Amino acid sequence: MMTRIAPLRTFAILLLVVPLTNRAGDYTPITVDMRLEQITPDVYYVQGAAGVATDNQGFVSNSGFVITRDGVVVFDALGTPALAHALLKLIRARTDQPIRRVYTSHYHADHVYGLQVFKEAGASVHAPLGAGDYLASEIAVERLEERRFSLDPWVDENTYLVPPDEIISHSSSFELGGKRFTISYQGKAHSDGDMMMLVEPDLVLFSGDLIFEGRIPFIGNGDTRHWLETLERLETTGLRALVPGHGPASFEPAATLSLTREYLAFLRDSLGRGVEELMSFDEIYAATDWSRFAHFPAFDAGNRINAYQVYLSLESEMLGQ
């Protein structure tokens, strides 16, 4: 039976990563506001709304780009090809330099469905170790099918997942057009694999979803222990600005770390004490005072789900799994 299922599953995955037709540039226009924000003369970003993944025509995450003398480097590709196409037009309004590279902080749908636009524009795609796990997973198949329904017509039968040209498993730097880019691989934290990008001499850090600003984080299948450890050792001294995966750019990076770090610590501490006392999830959740975070966007939609994922992971940690 396994030998029959494997080819079928491989075929299903191929359908995700191969376009059904070649219609590059033919994307349903977005009608939401995408405003370009300038951080330094060469570094820009766009900010998604503080909602759940299918709000605002899928424009809920951030993306940024850096203009150099020899081309453009993009960080994250947004949640639909239509959004990425709108971003590409904003880039073209600032420069005619070619799009050289796209770095994805992680492979979650709201950051990668726009990759096909930049790939079709000639860019190479670079992603952290763990992207392959997502591309080979059932959730990748299910998520794309769901988004073809919930984000129609901006995600449709011509939307496909782009596999990376390079898998990054350790931190390194490169130079392009007078800029130095440091790609910091962080391993499994928010997702199966996460990374950040530091731009010098601008001193701007793109953090991806390791940091959320102005809303509670999405936990998903993240490793909150490693995620919290990553944030606790993250050095922000000397940064001019930090661009999170969600929320506005910050010119006080140390302060911006606080929401994500405090929320993760609160989840692990509150649920951890209940797990040690062998309480059920419902008992722990009802006994916890959530008022500290209840006013943030996405709390009603995401907090209970986040808490349950942390509860399950803490049980596994306690059992040594």
> Taking the chain (321 residues) in consecutive chunks of 10 residues, what is each chunk's mean pLDDT?
35 51 72 98 97 94 98 98 98 98 97 98 97 94 97 97 97 98 97 97 98 93 95 93 97 92 97 96 97 94 96 89 58
Report whether 204 contacts 240 (CB < 8 A): yes
DSSP secondary structure of 221-273: T--HHHHHHHHHH---TT-SEEEEEES--BS-HHHHHHHHHHHHHHHHHHHHH
What CATH superfamily classification does 2-257 receive?
Ribonuclease Z/Hydroxyacylglutathione hydrolase-like (3.60.15.10)
pTM score, whole prediction = 0.91
CA distance 70 to 91: 14
Give the domain ranges of the chain.
2-257
At a CB cut-off of 8 Å and minimum separation 6, what does 78 contact?
46, 48, 58, 59, 61, 63, 84, 87, 110, 111, 113, 114
CA distance 100 to 72: 6
Report whether 101 contacts 124 (CB < 8 A): yes
Q: Fill in the amino acid letter for 22.
A: N
